[in-house]
Structure 1
């Protein structure tokens, strides 16, 4: 008896094109992906470390009674903080401190000074600068800025946007190479296998990362507005020109009704443990009481209280579905949506991306032309594609390049470099 070997899989006409795309993009943006993965993992793992480092400010002995919020704010004001009183975050659980928040000259965008108060005794346990709606403390703020812009400010955001812009392209090109690999190949490379396992996570991180980016993020915001996918905003009667972003008041008279305001909001369904009470932006204006629970289930309802009653409200249940997806996506990207399981997934995903970059450079080094084992894919692979498909690919590339500008600009740079290298090789 004789056996006939199975015929090899028909060669994918575009495999060479995807191979060159995956190679060039991986080599050139690999360092950015590597840094983003490492700093992202560090950021995701900081909540527990943050609780330990700042335990003196965050934790106090459990007390059988709790002072009214007004008295807790008075205690914070008595510590003579700089700036204007703008908001209060009541202690979410026994043993936790209340945060009294102040707007202060010299702080950065989205930064506020938090004075921590023992709700049982009124003792001030310290003060720290907190950042963003999540109220993260200095350690996590530093890691956030490292991940976002390498602590270089606005120009540094180009690095993270470049990584997010190319990550999905490299991932999908790698998937095509994995699917179209020769059937009779007995070697399953670790690089490809890891790439398949982290594919979904890589696409997720790329998409959610772009929502924060400078240029693609602006286009995403415009698209959301055009389709009505934006997050509803709370109407604030009497907010004046500056609305809820006003610096508020530093006098004690501005917070005398805070306990009754919180009681009214609780009766209206603002029942999350973590809430922020925003003081009126102008005399006689409305208070804002907002849930700030980003776990699962998400609790971000908010109400405006004016004249002893709720005058407007925004419920998470009423968000457009796209706005809910955006909220969930951002929180999962930050590692807060499902608590420690979310953090564990991000740790594994970040480790997988680091391994992919390292193994990718190792493969390139072993196969480089000067090593004697290299056999680079020849240029002109696009000529193997059917003309109609090539036109479609070109149009799609232009659209994506316009919507994700850093991808488009860097792609042009890649092509120019490849063209110059090709001419140099011909004249050598």
Structure 2
């Protein structure tokens, strides 16, 4: 019985080794950028106090008065979005596209004074978010993060198998042997932090995967189903709401990403879609009227209003709430002020609800400070697991080699593990393809070098 178990252990270790060597640098980056973004609610008002915090007044200016001041300050700029003040002591914010730059412009809501600007893509939080989502290199980065997260799941599964006590005492299994020194202590730190963090790490990896461009998009298309009747009475464009989300900025909730964007003006259908969409927006509804719609429909503070850019575009009121039960996405006709769609938590499918809950837990927003502390601990565990794994590898690697764990020749046909790997490869196609590539490289290159050495 001992032979097969040792052999299976050997193979699991080999996969864990390959996955760890690839994933560790990504995990370190994701954990560090995640910690920065995790504390955005506390860091932003501290770092940008003069832009974000104002003295509470008695009478707020209208959204249109604030918009007029911004347009006067940026005569060549195009205002893309308006974020009303979060509370009585916060400024209003406009997103202005000006001369190829995207700016966050802050305005005192009481006297309409422009307080200043911030580069929307080059501030600490935007950089952390863009690095976290796509390494700041667009689609290629998104696929690499997706690949790393998928392999991270392989890492957790194989790591749990390697950790399994198999009759050992609790020391080095449930807690580290602090009396140990050198590689043994690093091994204990790696195994114990990996075990205690495994369930939360899986939650983090899976909830993070839902945002990825390939797997996440397929997942959304499969599970984000809304009743067709919700969109039957309004003209729809061929764009989906995901166009409003970018690597550095979140506008609509995840559950809304693959829903169609409605069109303004029923006459858009008759005037010919292409004719209409090439013309600029000419809203007859004021920004204040749209804000009033949000207030009257009790949309949670913290929402944004995205302005239409074309003649058949719509105003979009959206809040990606800390508590997903307060999520709201409304599309408003720019000519009539008619609400073309109003989608809330109760309209989400069970899977979409579970995903939104996972995403908010991932971002540390569901239960306030407690949620932040838990996610901080998970990030620190990821850092400890990654660094200790790299240190162990560095200490045992041979001169001029990778130190791939040797593979025994008497490996049994271990069915369970093969099935687990096949399931992971099918569930995460990028992982499946890279598994095949690794298998070929392993067979052709690594083993040949071992034979030559022997």
TM-score class normalised by the smaller sequence: 0.7 to 0.9
CA gap of 1:209–1:280, structure 2 versus 1, over 3 A, is: closer
CA gap of 1:279–1:40, structure 2 versus 1, over 3 A, is: closer
CA gap of 1:375–1:262, structure 2 versus 1, over 3 A, is: closer
1:14 counterpart SS class: helix
Say whether 1:220 aligns with 2:219. yes
Say whether 1:299 aligns with 2:289. no
Which residue pairs with 1:56 in the alignment? 50
Residue 36 of structure 1: which of 30, 34, 39 is its match? Answer: 30
Which residue pairs with 1:194 in the alignment? 193
Q: Contact (CA 8 Å) 1:65, 1:120: kept in 2 or not?
A: yes
2:86 counterpart SS class: coil
Which residue pairs with 1:361 in the alignment? 390
TM-score w.r.t. structure 2 length?
A: 0.75
Greater displacement, 307-316 / 86-95: 307-316
CA gap of 1:284–1:71, structure 2 versus 1, over 3 A, is: farther
Which residue pairs with 1:206 in the alignment? 205
Q: Contact (CA 8 Å) 1:101, 1:113: kept in 2 or not?
A: yes
* Cα shift readout 1:273-325 (whole Å, capped 9, x = no counterpart): 122233455558754333x2521254222334443553432122211122222
Matches within 5 A, 1:332-351: 332-351=361-380
Say whether 1:82 aligns with 2:76. yes
Shift in Å at residue 356 of structure 1? Answer: 0.9
Q: Contact (CA 8 Å) 1:70, 1:255: kept in 2 or not?
A: no
* Cα shift readout 1:230-277 (whole Å, capped 9, x = no counterpart): 6355644428559x999965xxx847633333323432x233112223
CA distance in 2, matches of 1:159, 1:311: 38
CA distance in 2, matches of 1:144, 1:413: 30
Pairwise CA RMSD: 3.7
TM-score w.r.t. structure 1 length?
A: 0.79
CA distance in 1, matches of 2:26, 2:289: 50
Q: Contact (CA 8 Å) 1:162, 1:407: kept in 2 or not?
A: yes
Shift in Å at residue 367 of structure 1? Answer: 4.1
Q: Contact (CA 8 Å) 1:88, 1:101: kept in 2 or not?
A: yes
Which residue pairs with 1:134 in the alignment? none
1:384 counterpart SS class: coil
Shift in Å at residue 378 of structure 1? Answer: 3.1
Say whether 1:278 aligns with 2:306. yes
Which residue pairs with 1:416 in the alignment? 440
* Cα shift readout 1:89-147 (whole Å, capped 9, x = no counterpart): 2212112111233344524xxxx43322111111110123436xxxxx82211112222
Unaligned stretches of 5+ residues in structure 1? 1-7, 132-136
Which residue pairs with 1:94 in the alignment? 88
Unaligned stretches of 5+ residues in structure 2? 174-187, 228-253
* Cα shift readout 1:21-64 (whole Å, capped 9, x = no counterpart): 22232233322222222222233234322222211111111111
Matches within 5 A, 1:102-117: 102-104=96-98, 106-107=100-101, 112-117=102-107
Q: Contact (CA 8 Å) 1:270, 1:302: kept in 2 or not?
A: no
Say whether 1:173 aligns with 2:158. yes
Q: Contact (CA 8 Å) 1:265, 1:305: kept in 2 or not?
A: no
